[in-house]
Amino acid sequence: MIKRITLIVTVCLLLVYFSPPWTIPPAMAQTIPVGYQLITDPQGTAAMIVAQRPARSATAALAQGIAEVAGAFDAKPTLLGAFRDVRDQTAEAGFRTTLRRVPVSGIAFADMSGGTARVGFAFDNMQSPAAGILRLLQQAGHIPADSGGAPGNWRTMQYPDGSGTVRLPEGWQIVSAVKGAMDAAGPQGRIFKAINIQCTTRAGAAQTEQVLRMAGMPPHLIAQNFARIIIADPGDPASTMVAVGLQNSAKLGDGSYRHLRLVQVVPLQPPPGLAQAAIIDHEYMLKGVRERSLVYIAISGDFGNGTWGYYTSGLATRSETFTRNFSLLYEILLSAQTAQHTIQERWDNALNNLREIGEIRRQVHDNRSLSNERIHADRIESLQGRRVVQDRSTGQTGYANLGYSREVVQSLNTREGWARFQEIPLRDLVR
């Protein structure tokens, strides 16, 4: 029966590849709110509606704009995450909706200048590359034309060990990637995904050192044993992030890391099995450069053997280019995926390690942090435009278009006479 899923997915793909290229429906011009202008990308299929109005803050202007443009689409845009600068002069949000029943996604923005806000919504078919949207953002002045903010030649790159993939624009490269953990860098900054660090509590480190001394281990070997171990007690996500950053810099880098300030901390419900989680916007100095970073942090409690887990994913760039480069960095971060076999391996290894009582340390894990995937799963699924469909009787899986995956499952189950097939949202795969 899984062949039926494959057949349906194949038909869907054929409809995509052999249908006329997607374009902005001419009728959309009739639904654009008063005061907005429609601009299209001559090199692709992206479009943007933009307006100017008096405003006191970028956030307020953007919120008003979202309400105004709802009628231009099939439904009010659903926000996928947003940010603003410290002075509330620039606000930006990712969004998705449908236009004449075609799924679209894009970037909404508001830029203040002398009491006037320029508000825009750049969007495209969800299957199209981001280059068209970024070109329109440049045209609107939201991304400077000379910023390198809209690189071309995007390509999907596989991790060296086959544990995942990431879409990177021109000028970017994978710095390291092993068993699902990955970091990449380019002209606009860097991203890191699914970093899992095993830390040791101070009490656990002291007890281990005492045992090693009693066992007669020479002092220089004991020092070597602790040279790369992160020794810290788990606290709140923000203070823990700073403590781990300082030790990472001292033990694995050049010791130049210096925390400057917390811009904002948003506590989140931690995934099952973890103690705390948060999204943190902060600034720091690294090798003499002031950088700003948006990170997801999740921490566990003590595993019972003096160790605990620190999980993170995020993006970073120079502070002065954060607003300009955020959209690009965020898109790259969301595109990073890990192979399914690595997910299973990740949890199997974790369970095995937890049984090893008395373990002195665990190295910085190269495997994937599923907790972060759960936070971003809905967004990734929307950008990919597909959903997993599983055959309950065999356990095999296939993919269906996200826009009508429910109808696909209902049709299959009606034919079988029982609920043999089920949708599996990406967020449920990373529990």
Judge whether 53 and 119 are in contact, CB under 8 Å: yes
For residue 9, what are the contacts with CB-CB under 8 A and spacing of at least 6? 398, 399, 400, 401
For residue 72, what are the contacts with CB-CB under 8 A and spacing of at least 6? 28, 31, 32, 33, 36, 49
Domain boundaries, the chain: 31-139, 155-379
Let me know the angle formed at the C-alpha of 89 by 83 and 94, rounded to the nearest 5 degrees.
Answer: 30
Tell which residue, 364, 311, 318, 312, has the closest CA to residue 333: 312
Share of the chain above pLDDT 70, in %: 74
User: Is the pLDDT reported for residue 261 higher than 90?
Assistant: yes
Mean pLDDT of 184-188: 92
pLDDT of 128-151, one tens digit each?
Answer: 776 788 788 888 877 655 444 445
Per-chain mean pLDDT for the chain? 76
* Identity of residue 172: W
The 3-state secondary structure of 26-46 reads HHHHHCCCCCCEEEECCCCCC
So what's the pLDDT on residue 353?
46
Region 31-139: CATH code: 3.40.1000.10
Q: Which two tokens stand for residue 267?
A: 């506590």
Q: Which of 138-142, 157-161, 208-212, 381-385 has the highest mean pLDDT?
A: 157-161
Tell which residue, 341, 335, 260, 271, has the closest CA to residue 309: 271
Given pLDDT bands bounded at 50, 70 and 90, which one contains residue 52? very high
Mean pLDDT of 187-216: 85
Q: Which two tokens stand for residue 315?
A: 């993006």
Lowest-pLDDT range, 43-57, 76-90, 107-121, 410-424? 76-90
User: Is the pLDDT reported for residue 179 higher than 90?
Assistant: no
Cα separation, 290 vs 317, in Å, equals 9
Q: Between 81 and 149, where is the model more confident?
A: 81
Mean pLDDT of 254-266: 89
State if pTM tops 0.75.
Answer: no
pLDDT of 203-244, one tens digit each?
Answer: 888 887 787 778 777 877 766 766 678 888 999 999 999 999
